[in-house]
Amino acid sequence: MRIALGGDHAGYDLKEELRAHLEELGHECLDLGTHDRESVDYPDYAERVGLALGRGEAERGIMICGSGVGASVAINKLPGIRAGLCHDTYSAHQGVEHDDMNVLVLGGRIIGPLLARELVSAFIGAHFSNEERHQRRLDKVNALEKRY
């Protein structure tokens, strides 16, 4: 799977850790920055990840900032993005299975690298269920996006 990775300065170390983990698992990573610990603005990197998904350059995305909250707010402003801030494995896979989540958002100052690896594995390994009730709800979410 091709995965777009992005993060601000507070997410840099965890992004680097996860990029290596994903590559070890055989995934291709599109590293959209930041590429060091110099202070930057998370919306810029959220936009890069969201646009990469929208253009079909990656199948899923991972976005990391200090708490994950700002990155989650920013990336969900882009059309077609269904991002979830997850700090437990159930949410990381259930968000994909029930809500067709396509971006995992993490807080680089909230969780450690071992938990982050578990979350990424749960996210990457999950697939949308296509169950009627979940598709119906996803259709309503998509209609909201189009309406507003």
> Has this prediction a pTM greater than 0.95?
yes
CB distance 64 to 85 below 8 Å: no
Question: What CATH number has the domain bearing residue 19?
Answer: 3.40.1400.10
Tell me: the pLDDT tens digits for 18-39? Answer: 999 999 999 999 999 999 999 9
CB distance 21 to 117 below 8 Å: yes
Give the number of domains in the chain: 1
| Residue-number span of the structural domain to which 83 is assigned | 2-147
The residues that are catalytic are 65, 98
Give the pLDDT score at 66: 98
Q: What CA–CA distance (Å, rounded) separates 91 from 104?
A: 10
CB distance 64 to 108 below 8 Å: yes
Tell me: the pLDDT tens digits for 94-117? Answer: 999 999 999 999 999 999 999 999
